[in-house]
Amino acid sequence: MATTTSTSGHDAARRSLAAVLCTLVLGGAGGLATIGWASPRAQTLIAVYPPWWPPARIWSAALSVGEISDVGGASFVLVIHSAGPNAPGRAARSGAVFTLDPGALGPCGSTTKDTL
C-alpha cells in the first residue's frame, strides 16, 4: 500500500497557525489588519516585546518609552503614547521586537481607551 503525503494539509495548517498567531499578537491592539511600521514621528505606537520576558520587564521597558495606554491580546503587546521624539527608536532600544503604527490598522487600531 503506497502512502501519499499531501502538502495542501500542511499548507492549511500553516495558514491556520499564522492566523492564530496574528490574532494573539494583535488581538486587543488591532485584530487582523494590514501592518504598518511606526514612523519615527509617531507619538502613539504598538510595541511588541519578547513574549518570554516577564511582565514586569515588559512594563518597565515600555514605561521608559512613554505612557502605556492599552494592552493587546497578549501581555507582551502594548500601546504606548510618548510625547518625546523618535518613540519607535526608543521602543526598539528598550527591547521591543518591532513597533506598529495604530493608524495604519484603520478602525481596528483605535487607541482611544483611557490610560491604564
Does 57 map to a domain? yes
- Please give the residue that has the higher pLDDT: either 80 or 32: 80
pLDDT at 93 over 80: yes
Does 1 map to a domain? no
Calpha distance 96→61 (Å, rounded): 8
Which residues form the domain of 73? 7-109
pLDDT at 67 over 70: yes
Does 116 map to a domain? no
* Count of domains for the chain: 1
pLDDT digits over 11-44, tens only?
A: 555 554 454 455 455 544 443 333 446 666 668 9
Does 115 map to a domain? no
Does 104 map to a domain? yes
Decide: 88 and 99 in contact? Cβ < 8 Å. yes
Collapsed DSSP state (helix, strand, coil) of residue 100: strand
Does 38 map to a domain? yes
Report residue 96 CA to chain centroid gap: 9
pLDDT at 57 over 70: yes
Q: What is the structure's pLDDT at 76?
A: 94
| Sign (positive or negative) of CA dihedral 48, 51, 53, 56 | positive
